Amino acid sequence: MDFATLLQILDSTLRLSAPLILACLAGLFSERAGILDIGLEGKMLVAAFASGAVAYTTGSVWIGLLAAIGASMVLSAIHGVASITFRGNQLISGVALNFLAAGMTVLIAQSWFGQGGRTPSLFGGARFEPVTLPFAEALADVPILGPIYADLLSGHSILVYVALLTVPLTWWVLFRTRFGLRLRAVGENPAAVDTAGVSVVGLRYASVAIAGLLCGIAGSYLSTGLQAGFVKDMTAGRGYIALAALIFAKWRPWYALGACLLFGLLQALALRYQNLDIFGIPLPTQIMDAAPYILTVVILAGFVGKAIPPRAGGQPYVKER
């Protein structure tokens, strides 16, 4: 494997990791506040559709992005009503929302565009174009570092950089702000937050809304950055991989970045090589597909450190003395 191939694989890793990172951090905000979210997939899917459809109709990818965030937040709101206000089962709500997204996107796409549940292809201002980082061209000839900067780091859609910047931002919000302290507290012991005079419901809705925002960006990236338009079921399990990454990262932002890059790399490899030989052992592409899930099961089974989720995760808060 030469340097150029390596760069290409890593480049594709970055592109494929970006939606995972955003979705994973979405899950992180939600689950740190005690609301389990297996509806990441569905939120991304509606966002991808809304973004593709609106960007096509208006010709502006930015309006598309806003629509994506809006659509994703609608699902977040339903999840919030079900699991916070009505104290329903958060897992069941997540499952339902994933199906709702899978069905509604096709239904609306068909009735809107009549192209078998997809949007027409996007081009021009309806897509996120690659962003060239400053001096990328000037530095491209510097050996090793030049190509890394110009080819690997530069030339991605703006949302890839947004995803990368969201990681330190998330860390900062969680561990350096009042909001973060309260958010973490509400996922560990909501009664402590409630008796301290802070609204548990408000905090949890805020966290679910942030999850919606981030999934919205992730979904928008899928249909307007990574690809040019929405196709049926285009999230293809990314929401679940993000969920796996979240567990793999043990609900910590920097580790989440690492986990998402790893899973992104696996996807990049599976895309590029149908059968990969590693030390003479042929690795079929299906292994690559299944690897994130297998790794997560291994982590969950506690073979590589114990994954301790936020203590109040999944439990609706009921006041008691």
Binding positions for another protein, 286-305, rule CB under 8 A: 286-287, 289-290, 293-294, 296-297, 300-303
User: Of these, 13, 30, 51, 90, which contacts another protein (CB under 8 A)?
Assistant: 90
CA distances from 66 to 47, 71, 162, 214, 219 (A): 9, 9, 15, 12, 11
Total of chain residues touching another protein, rule CB under 8 A: 74
Structure tokens belonging to residue 211: 């999850």
In eight-state DSSP terms, residue 284 is E
Q: Is 115 in the site for another protein (CB under 8 A)?
A: no
Site for another protein in 129-188 (CB under 8 A): 175-182, 184-185, 188
Q: Are 32 and 183 in contact (CB under 8 A)?
A: yes
Considering only the stretches 63-71, 109-117, 140-148, 218-226, report the one whose residues sit in contact with another protein under the rule CB under 8 A: 109-117
DSSP characters over 20-75? HHHHHHHHHHHHHTT-----HHHHHHHHHHHHHHHHHHHS-HHHHHHHHHHHHHHH
User: Which residues within the stretch 215-244 sit at the binding site for another protein (CB under 8 A)?
Assistant: 237, 240, 243-244
Q: How far is the CB of 98 from another protein (least distance, A)?
A: 8
Which of residues 247, 257, 260, 261 is near another protein by CB under 8 A?
A: 247
State the minimum distance, in angstroms, from the CB of residue 130 to another protein. Answer: 31
Q: Which residues pair with 157 in a beta bridge?
A: 130
Binding region for another protein (CB under 8 A) out of 44-52, 87-95, 129-137, 153-161: 87-95
Instruction: Give dist(CA 28, CA 117) in Å, integer.
Output: 31
Helix axes 178-188, 3-32, angle to 10 degrees: 70
- In the set 8, 60, 110, 227, which binds another protein (CB under 8 A)? 110
The correct pick among 66, 192, 226, 271 for binding another protein (CB under 8 A) is 192
Measured from the CB of residue 238, what is the shortest distance to another protein in angstroms?
12
DSSP state, residue 128: P
Q: Using CB under 8 A, pick the residue from 3, 6, 87, 129 that binds another protein.
A: 87
Residue 116 or 124 with smaller CB distance to another protein:
116
C-alpha 320: how far from chain center: 35
Q: Is 256 exposed, middle or buried (0-12, 13-18, 19+ CB in 10 A)?
A: buried
- Residue 107 as a binder of another protein (CB under 8 A): the answer is yes
User: Minimum CB separation from another protein for residue 100, in Å?
Assistant: 4
The verdict on 202 binding another protein (CB under 8 A) reads no
Sign of the Cα pseudo-torsion (105, 12, 14, 282, in order):
positive
**Member of 103, 124, 130, 168 binding another protein (CB under 8 A):** 103
Is 51 a binding residue for another protein by CB under 8 A? The answer is no
22 part of the interface to another protein, by CB under 8 A:
no
- φ, ψ for residue 248 (rounded to 5)? -55, -35
Give the nearer residue to another protein in terms of CB position, either 60 or 110: 110
